[in-house]
Amino acid sequence: MIQVKQIITGTIEENCYLVYNENNILIVDPGNDALNIKKEIASLEATPTAILITHAHYDHIGALEEIRQTYHIPVYISPIEQSWLSDPTLNFSGLMHHSDMSDIVCQPAEFEFENYHDYTLGDMTFKVVPTPGHSPGSLSFIFDTFVITGDALFSGSIGRTDLPFGDSQTLLHSIQTELFTLNDEMVAYPGHREPTTIGKEKLTNPFFQ
What is the tens place of the pLDDT at every residue in 35-63? 999 999 999 989 999 999 999 999 999 99
Asked whether the predicted pLDDT for residue 14 surpasses 90, the reply is yes
pLDDT tens sequence across 146-162 = 999 999 999 999 999 99
- The band of 96, judged by pLDDT with boundaries at 50, 70 and 90, is low
Q: Is residue 36 part of a domain?
A: yes
Q: Is residue 170 part of a domain?
A: yes
| pLDDT over threshold 70, residue 98 | no
Instruction: Classify burial at 151, counting beta carbons within 10 Å of its beta carbon; exposed 0-12, middle 13-18, buried 19 or more.
Output: buried
pLDDT in tens, 157-180: 999 999 999 999 999 999 999 999
- 99, pLDDT greater than 70: no
Tell me the torsion sign for CA atoms 67, 135, 176, 207: positive
Query: Domain count of the chain?
Result: 1
**Average pLDDT of 131-153?**
98
User: How far is residue 155's CA from residue 165's CA, in Å, rounded to a whole number?
Assistant: 23
Does residue 127 lie in a domain region? yes
Range of the domain at 75: 3-204
The neighbour count for residue 116, using CB atoms within 10 Å, is 10
**Does residue 91 carry a pLDDT above 70?**
yes
Instruction: Determine the Cα–Cα distance for residues 169 and 177; give it in Å rounded to an integer.
Output: 12
In this structure, what CATH number is given to the domain that contains residue 174?
Answer: 3.60.15.10
Q: What is the pLDDT of residue 52?
A: 98
Cα separation, 62 vs 44, whole angstroms:
22
The rounded distance, in Å, linking the Cα atoms of 196 and 120 is 25
Strand partners, 61: none
Instruction: Examine residue 100 and state whether it is found in any structural domain, yes or no.
Output: yes
pTM for the whole thing?
Answer: 0.97
Cβ-Cβ contacts under 8 Å for 58 (sequence gap 6 or more): 88, 91, 92, 93, 98, 101, 104
The per-residue pLDDT for 194 is 98
Higher pLDDT, 151 or 99: 151
Q: How far is CA 7 from the centre of its chain?
A: 12
**What is the average pLDDT score of the chain?**
96
Residue 42 lies in a domain: yes
